[in-house]
Amino acid sequence: MNKPEIREKIDLDKIMASAGCCAVSGHMRPDGDCIGSCLGLALFLRKKYPRVKTDVYLESIRNELKFLPGTESVITTPAPGGYDVFFCLDCADAERLGQNAVLMKESELTVCIDHHRTSVPGTDIAYIDPLSASASEIVALLLGEEQIDRDIASALYTGIVTDTGVFRYSSTTPSTMRIAAMLMEKGIDHSVICEEAFFMKTYAQQQIMGKALLDSVRFLDDRAVYTIVTREQMEKYQVTNADLDGISSQLRMTDGIHVAAFLNELGPEEFKVSLRSDEKVDVSRIAAAFGGGGHLRAAGCTVKGTADEAVEKLGGQILLQLAPETKQTR
Ligand SMILES: [Mn+2]
């Protein structure tokens, strides 16, 4: 799975030169990085190339990110007909775009900017850097300090803090910090962004997190942990899929645990699985075994079967990487 990074020179002047309209979009169930990178790029394109009509398509904007500049103009339902240029951010293929895949298929020139190590580009031009902690970080580098104003900086900083867990995941590099510092120098309200975009939770989100942690089960000699949230529980606590973010990361922060698996029931015998790990396990490989993907320490996939079967299957894949180790007790 250690594919070399794919970097094609992205010359925005050249790409935009003959364009009359362009669209920017990102993956299904857009997270902070997806939304931040899309808004950051779109705000820049509208400023730098005012004669080009630039639209942003995202499935939805999370409530906690509605403070970001540009969210009011986001289109949530794709219109028929393509664009001269289509930018695909924080993912690389039509499948991950969900409903917005139609835009990619119908547009003239397609460009992807992504950082997922499992991504296989389905665009004409691709810039995929798995060593980058977020797509927003790549967009910041692409635009350059000169071109970034306060609004663009707010959007990109949001993407960086959400994808790095506020600079604490191992994906964070010195370069991440330098880019974040440059964005801070644009006068953004960095502590408000961290609070709003990452830490603040609704009461219902806190409750479902508590429930998921309380129900968690350690397995594989206490080296892994899983928890399940069912449709019934989601109904009871009145939460949506977006409210479940952060559960897998919180679960991973359990002493002695190398892998955390959060199973969210999608339907009968089908679970969306969110995986987190420490340096011992590459969860992108585990996710890939089930047709999913992601990063070394954070990945996702869908697993079919009853809850017991799903846990069993996941355990088998986790053991392939954990087996040589003996149980560590602290
Ligand atoms: Mn991302």
Is a pLDDT exceeding 80 seen at residue 3? no
Report residues near ion ligand 1: CB below 5 Å: 33, 90, 134-135, 163
Protein fold of 203-322: Diaminopimelate Epimerase; Chain A, domain 1 (3.10.310)
Contact (Cβ atoms closer than 8 angstroms) between residue 45 and residue 23: no
What is the average pLDDT across 209-223? 98
- The full set of domain ranges for the chain reads 6-199, 203-322
For residue 202 the two structure tokens come to 């609704």
* β-bridge pairing 259-267 and 270-277: antiparallel
Per-residue CA distances from 16 to 7, 53, 85, 109 (Å): 19, 11, 8, 10
Encode pLDDT of 147-157 as tens digits. Answer: 999 999 999 99
Q: What is the DSSP letter of 327?
A: P
**Ligand 1 geometric centre to CA of 135 (Å):** 5
Say whether 8 sits in a helix, a strand or coil: coil
Residue 57 CA to residue 39 CA, distance in Å, equals 10
pLDDT score of 222: 97
Instruction: Give percent above pLDDT 70 in the chain.
Output: 96
**Ligand 1 geometric centre to CA of 144 (Å):** 19
Residue 22 CB burial class (10 angstroms; 0-12, 13-18, ≥19): buried
pLDDT score of 2: 43
What is the average pLDDT across 194-204? 95
Residue given tokens 């529980």 in the structure block: 233
**Ligand 1 geometric centre to CA of 92 (Å):** 11
Domain spanning 6-199: which CATH class is it, in words? alpha beta
Residue given tokens 């590459």 in the structure block: 282
Per-residue CA distances from 66 to 15, 38, 63, 90, 192 (Å): 30, 14, 5, 19, 13
What is the average pLDDT across 229-251? 95
**Ligand 1 geometric centre to CA of 67 (Å):** 19
Contact (Cβ atoms closer than 8 angstroms) between residue 80 and residue 10: no
Q: Which residues contact 132 (CB under 8 A, 6 or more apart)?
A: 115, 138, 175, 176
pLDDT score of 215: 98
- 7 pLDDT band, cuts 50/70/90, is confident
Encode pLDDT of 80-131 as tens digits. Answer: 889 999 999 999 989 999 999 999 999 999 999 999 988 888 899 999 999 9
Among residues 89, 114, 113, 108, which one has the least CA distance to residue 100? 89
Q: What are the DSSP calls for 105-151, one per residue?
A: HH-SEEEEEE--TT----SSEEEE-TTSS-HHHHHHHHH-GGG--HH
**Ligand 1 geometric centre to CA of 47 (Å):** 24
Is a pLDDT exceeding 60 seen at residue 325? no
